């Protein structure tokens, strides 16, 4: 087990500086254009592929960093560049991790390369979990997958929403219910290969922020996929369902549902790191502006009203990063989140990003409210952190339930 440390080693520093350079030189100059266009920034993704950032190998190296700091460090730097473009670059990773976590070696080797393509023909993938009536309530998925034993095929019907890369992806990973009686324990994940009949893009959302990231509904109408597309295989699923049915009888539905919420704990620090990157970017713009902007014959940072805001902003950002790094280290080293530390990190970092970006606009005054300066875009982008991967309200609920040891509602 790696010791927890705040000091990055030489290799980590080298990766951090490399990512920062890419974010500064490639992502940030393109941010305003792709935010206005509200389109997937394919040229930037291709550049990321050429240098090795948009690849499974890169994310695997960060994921398996024994200190746990590889992923949060990478997320912070990329999202420092721009949240919308960064999400377009890392969004495929959600689907890839789903296959890595649940798939067989053959499935991993077959499908993950097709998710990324190559530097000359980049592809993206989509992870489809949320539904119109099942966001935070993960146990209420209505998308159903039914096994057709005669053809060894699964038939999937339902509608997914808020899917990053939904409809434009080469490969979709779809979470569906195969046994509603056991709630989230009756869920399974399926690969939907490229060009499968019945899968179509529904509404593309015109969003408040992260507009360079494609977000859409995915409609599944009698989508048939081979039995080999069930991640993990049917034998493993049947064994898991049998255990879940026994546990459901003994424990009751609420406990099954709460266990589903706990499965998201380990991934939440990564979202917290994204929020830290956006907050840090806004703080740096505000700090630079306050040092150079003069009013009444002196820089505005010479006023306590501005200087104290900047002091609070920096303190909150550093505190958020500490919570994210702690939770990330705990997750990779198998430390149990006895106080919902994963949710703590995501909650605090998300709320910090919203607050810091709003303060940055205030420090820039009228300029901060215009699109000539990036802080208004950063503020719009920051709103998503308190919503996706579990709202702030859900994070507080998870923390409260953990501390109380009771099913607080």
Return d(Cα 396, Cα 343) in angstroms, integer: 8
* Cα dist from 366 to 41, 197, 208, 286, 369, whole Å: 29, 51, 20, 13, 5
State the Cα–Cα distance between residues 386 and 85, nearest whole angstrom. Answer: 19
In sequence order, the 6+-apart residues with CB closer than 8 A to the CB of 324 are 72, 269, 272, 273, 276, 345, 349
Question: How far apart are the C-alpha atoms of 82 and 377, rounded to whole Å?
Answer: 9
Side-chain-facing half-sphere of 177: CA atoms under 13 Å? 19
Q: From CA 199, how far away is CA 217, in angstroms rounded?
A: 11
Q: Are 2 and 67 in contact (CB under 8 A)?
A: yes
Catalytic residues: 389
């Amino acid at each position: 087990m790696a010791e927890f440390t705040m000091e990055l080693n030489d290799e980590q520093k080298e990766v951090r500086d490399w990512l920062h350079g890419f974010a500064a030189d490639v992502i940030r100059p393109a941010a305003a254009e792709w935010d206005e266009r509200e389109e997937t920034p394919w040229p930037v993704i291709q550049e990321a592929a050429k240098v090795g950032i948009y690849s499974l190998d890169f994310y695997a190296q960060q994921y398996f960093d024994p200190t746990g700091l590889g992923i949060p460090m990478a997320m912070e730097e990329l999202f420092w560049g721009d949240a919308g473009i960064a999400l377009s670059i890392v969004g495929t990773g959600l689907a890839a991790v789903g296959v890595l976590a649940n798939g067989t070696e053959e499935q991993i080797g077959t499908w993950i390369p097709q998710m990324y393509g190559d530097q000359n023909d980049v592809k993206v993938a989509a992870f489809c979990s949320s539904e119109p009536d099942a966001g935070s309530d993960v146990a209420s998925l209505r998308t159903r997958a039914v096994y057709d034993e005669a053809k060894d095929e699964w038939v999937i019907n339902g509608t997914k929403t808020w899917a990053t890369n939904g409809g434009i992806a080469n490969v979709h990973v779809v979470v569906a219910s195969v046994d509603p009686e056991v709630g989230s324990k009756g869920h399974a994940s399926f690969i939907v290969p490229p060009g499968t009949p019945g899968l179509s893009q529904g509404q593309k959302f015109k969003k408040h922020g992260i507009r360079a990231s494609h977000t859409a509904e995915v409609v599944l109408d009698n989508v048939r996929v081979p039995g080999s597309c069930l991640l993990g295989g049917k034998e493993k699923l049947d064994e898991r369902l049998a255990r879940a049915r026994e546990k459901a009888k003994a424990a009751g539905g609420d406990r099954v549902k709460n266990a589903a919420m706990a499965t998201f704990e380990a991934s939440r620090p990564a979202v917290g790191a994204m929020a830290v990157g956006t907050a840090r970017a806004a703080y740096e713009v505000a700090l630079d502006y306050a040092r150079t902007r003069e009013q009444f014959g002196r820089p505005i940072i010479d006023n306590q009203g501005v200087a104290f805001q900047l002091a609070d902003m920096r303190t909150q950002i550093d505190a958020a990063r500490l919570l994210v790094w702690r939770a990330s280290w705990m997750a990779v080293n198998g430390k149990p989140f006895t106080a919902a530390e994963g949710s703590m990190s995501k909650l605090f970092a998300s709320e910090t990003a919203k607050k810091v970006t709003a303060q940055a606009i205030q420090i820039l005054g009228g300029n901060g409210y215009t699109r000539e300066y990036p802080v208004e875009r950063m503020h719009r982008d920051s709103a998503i952190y308190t919503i996706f991967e579990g709202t702030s309200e859900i994070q507080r609920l998870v923390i409260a339930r953990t501390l109380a040891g009771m099913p607080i509602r």
